[in-house]
Amino acid sequence: MSVKDTQSLETICVHAGVEPDPKHGAIMTPIYQTSTYVQPAPGQPLTYDYSRGGNPTRAALETSLAALERAKHALSYASGLAAEQAIMQVLEPGARVIVSEDVYGGTGRLFRKLFARYGFQFDFLDLRDLNAVAAAVDNKTQLIWVETPTNPLLRIVDIAGICAIAKKAGAKVVVDNTFTSPIFQQPLSLGADLVIHSTTKYIGGHSDLIGGALMTNDDELAEKLRFVQFAGGAVNSPFECFMLLRSIKTLALRMERHNTNALAFARSLEDSGDFQSVIYPGLESHPQHALARKQMSGFAGVVSVYLKRDMAGVTRFLQNLRLIALAESLGGVESLANHPEQTTHASVPPELRQKLGINAQLVRFSIGIENVNDLIADVRQALQR
């Protein structure tokens, strides 16, 4: 059965982009570890001429990524930030971009420290407030940059609402879908023009590679992005493409376990009374739980908490964890704990961190696929110690 015969994401994960090798019948896509390709005549390559411009392993990966987001086009990059740079490089000079105010720290750093130097204007807003967004959009606004859920506060942004505002203004909408994966959220179906992923996270899923991806149904935008990908050269190696293809096969299964574990973990921590607050879109206590249920089919594996400790106490708690590792990143099969103020969001201006509540008490958990009771027990013993 081909992918075209089914609408199931579980089947797409296993089959999209993967065809048996016609020469030997290998069921897995080969790693075409080559930089260049022999041409039968000058300027007449068989398919590819140089692996920066195209590679069979990367082509298979991009086909799979497009199918996951039900998109016409997908482009794979060496990192999530490389994909973000490609988006900025197709905008017109002097463009205005409206951005989620609690966007991932690396994205904010890229905008504030790099692209702002070249005449781009960035306005960081609370995108939950659609009236404020509508009032802020003007004829120079080329792009609205959405994260939902946001990192690390797990705010939920109304994708369809933002897209309606952007459409009236002639602006495009990009949605960072990293925190949910294509399994639980489909921004293109809600009106977004472009979806971005750090494939390092859930799509890679094993904390062993770095990558990024863009997906779109816009032919003109895809053509521009493809040129930037070729001209800039920030592409994955064939080996990393192979690794991502392997990981995608289990994506749906992994996301189901991440989601189940994270909900049980969040409920246990909330019920314990040991935390100032527990933030997870799947909890009824989340202020935007209804919106999350409307536009997401699952809530993935990130849980943020505020501890009832000062910085020294938070540090001791993190050091006392035995099973959950203290590390940056998320989305791997193993559980991680991260301190955003000191790591992923350290580059955010201090006054904005204070306003948002990214402070010493905030800890972000990436819940893996272990037995959730073991994870809960690990938190309890760390608190007691």
Tracing tokens 């140089």 back to the chain, one arrives at 50
Residues 45, 33: Cα–Cα separation, whole Å? 17
Tracing tokens 């960035």 back to the chain, one arrives at 122
Q: Is 176 a catalytic residue?
A: yes
Residues 267, 251: Cα–Cα separation, whole Å? 24
- Peptide bond preceding 349 in cis form (omega within 30 of 0): no
Indicate the pairing of strand 212-216 with strand 275-279: unpaired
Which helix (H) or strand (E) segment is 214 a member of? Answer: strand 212-216
Spot the catalytic one: 176, 309, 353, 364.
176
Which one-letter amino acid corresponds to residue 174?
V
Spot the catalytic one: 58, 96, 172, 201.
201
Q: Is 104 a catalytic residue?
A: yes
Spot the catalytic one: 37, 52, 218, 257.
52
Give the Å distances, CA to CA, from 169 to 96, 97, 136, 293, 345. 12, 13, 11, 28, 31
Structure letter (DSSP) for residue 325: E
Q: Which of 210, 157, 211, 209 is nearest to 180 (CA)?
A: 157
Which residues, in sequence order, are bridge partners of residue 216?
A: 73, 194
What is the separation of C-alpha 218 from the centre of its chain, rounded to a whole number of angstroms? 20
Residues 174, 133: Cα–Cα separation, whole Å? 15
Q: Which residues are catalytic?
A: 52, 104, 176, 201
